[in-house]
A = this chain, B = another copy of it.
Amino acid sequence: MKKFINSTDTLLDESLLGFAKAHADIIQLNTQPNFIQRVNPTKPGKVALISGGGSGHEPLHTGFVGTGMLDAACPGQIFTSPTPDQMLAAAAAVENGGGVLFIVKNYAGDVMNFEMAAEMLDCSNASVLVCDDVSLPKTHSTGRRGVAGTLIVEKIVGAAAEQGADLACCKALGEKVNNATASMGVALSSCTVPALGKPTFDISDTDMEMGVGIHGERGHATLKLSSATDIVAHMAGMIDDDLKPAQGQTALLHVNGFGATPLMELHLIYDLAANYWEQRGIKIVRSLVGNYTTSIDMAGCSITLSLLDDELLALWDAPVHTAALRWGC
C-alpha cells in the first residue's frame, strides 16, 4: 500500500486538520467528537441540516458544509459510520430553533447510528434516507444504497432550508429528490482501505466491476472491459429503466469519479451519457462532472440522473458556498 500518511491511526484526524485549515473561511472543525460546522451563523429558525457517514468519500460530506447546503457533517472512520455522540454534538452546535434534519445514506450502520441520535435529540427532528443506487433491486433486503445522488439531495434541501422552508417541507423535498434520482457505478480497480493495506477485491486486467458500491462492494456483474459507449449504454439503460423519464423531462446529469479516474475520461463519459438521454428526448439542463463522492483511490465512476422540475432546478441553482461546490455567492 502506498499512501501519503504518517500512520493509518492518525490519517483521518490529520486530514481533518488540513481540511479545516484550508477552508477556515467557510467551516471549522470540532474534535472529541469530530464534526465540521459552518463558521457563519444562520438565521434563527432555520432548519439545521446534518449529514455524515464513513470517511473516504471526500469531498462528501465535509466539503458540502456551508451556506446553502449542510450546517454540519459528521465524519466516521474510513468506511465506518459516525457514532451518535458525533451527531448529538453537531446538533447541539448548529440547531437554531428550526429543528434538525438528518440526511442519511442507506447503510445499516449509518441508519442505526443516526436513528439512535434522533431518539436522543431533545429538539424536533426528522430524517431523509438516500437510496439512489439502481444496481441493487428495489426488493434488496436492506434496500438500495445511497451513493452519488446524496449530494443532490443535500444541495437542494440545503437551498430550501436557507430560504426558510420548515422541517416537514425539507423532509418532503429530500424524499422528492431522492425518488427522482438514480445512480449506478462501475469500477476498473478496487479501492485500498488504509487499515487493511490491500485492495478490497481482486479484478483482472481485462475485467470491470459493474454496479459497485462506494465502499469496495462488488457489483452485480463482473464483465469484460468494453468500450465507453457500451459501458454508458449499460449504466444509463438501468438508470433509465428505473426512473422512466417522460419525453421533454428536464434533468441534471452528474458524472462522478471514484478517485483515480482522470477528468478527461469523466468528460468523455459525460458526453456519451448526455447523448444517450438527449436521443431519448430528455433535456439535460444542468451538469456536474468531477470527483464528488469518491471511494478512496478507486478507478471508476458513476452516472447519476436527477429529474428536476422548475422548483428543484431553482433550488439547485440557488447560491452555495462550500469547499467543494460554490456558485452564486
Which A residues contact B (CB, under 8 angstroms)? 2-6, 11-12, 14-19, 21-23, 55-56, 58-59, 63, 188-189, 205, 208, 225, 227-229, 231, 255, 259-272, 274, 284, 287-289, 291, 294, 296-297, 299, 301, 326-327
Shortest CB distance A32–B (Å): 18
The residues of B that contact A266 with a CB separation of less than 8 Å are: 4, 18
Q: Which residues of B contact A5 (CB under 8 A)?
A: 227-228, 265, 268
Given contacts A268-B14, A297-B262, contact A287 B21 (CB under 8 A): yes
Overall SS of chain A's interface = mixed
A208 — which chain B residues lie within 8 A by C-beta?
A: 2
Our pick among B4, B262, B289, B327 for the contact of A265 (Cβ within 8 Å) is B4
Hey, which chain B residues are within 8 Å of A272, CB to CB?
Answer: 14, 18
Of A55, A231, A270, most buried by chain B (CB within 10 Å of CB) is A270
CA of A227 to CA of B14 in the docked complex: distance in angstroms? Answer: 13
Contact A264 B11 (CB under 8 A): yes
Distance in Å: Cβ of A290 to nearest Cβ of chain B: 9
Q: A18-B268, A269-B18, A326-B326 are in contact. Are A263 and B2 (CB under 8 A)?
A: no
Which residues of chain B come closer than 8 Å to A259, judged between CB atoms? 260, 262
Nearest Cβ on chain B to A313's Cβ, whole angstroms: 14
Partner of A264, one of B2, B12, B287: B12
A270 touches B21 (CB 8 A): yes
